[in-house]
Amino acid sequence: MTEMNGAHVNNAAAAEITDDLREIGREFNSRAEDVRKEAVKLLHTAAEKIREEAHERPIGEEAAHAADEVAKGLEKAAHYLNNRSVEEMGKDAKQVVQKYPVRTVTVAVLIGIIIGLILRGGKR
């Protein structure tokens, strides 16, 4: 009879852990969606500001064209984020890493170095 009680306790504990993990997953997805939506807004705002600055200042035709291209890139990123769920973006990222593993690692290392230099530079 003790073995049956132990099995019942283990099953109950496993069910509780499973429920807790599901709740954590739902909360994570909810927060990730909030971040995704905010990123879309910020990208659109940044694109708009870049265009405003480029048109308000006498920077020349070539620089204005470059600013417009940057703004288009930001809008393209916003469009991608707006039309994909967090799960879809995760799948896309996995495909890119599988297709271009060396390039992905190289970019990740470079980003890490840049962030490290920025953080280290603030301590000097």
Q: How many whole angstroms separate alpha carbon 38 and alpha carbon 47?
A: 14
pLDDT at position 87 is 86
| Amino acid (1-letter code) at residue 93 | A
CB atoms within 10 A of CB 67: 19
Q: Note if the pTM is more than 0.75.
A: no
3-class DSSP state of 85: coil
pLDDT at position 79 is 96
Residue-by-residue pLDDT tens, the chain, 124 positions: 455 565 666 888 888 999 999 999 889 888 988 999 999 999 999 999 999 998 888 888 898 899 999 999 999 999 999 999 888 998 999 999 999 999 999 999 999 999 888 888 755 5
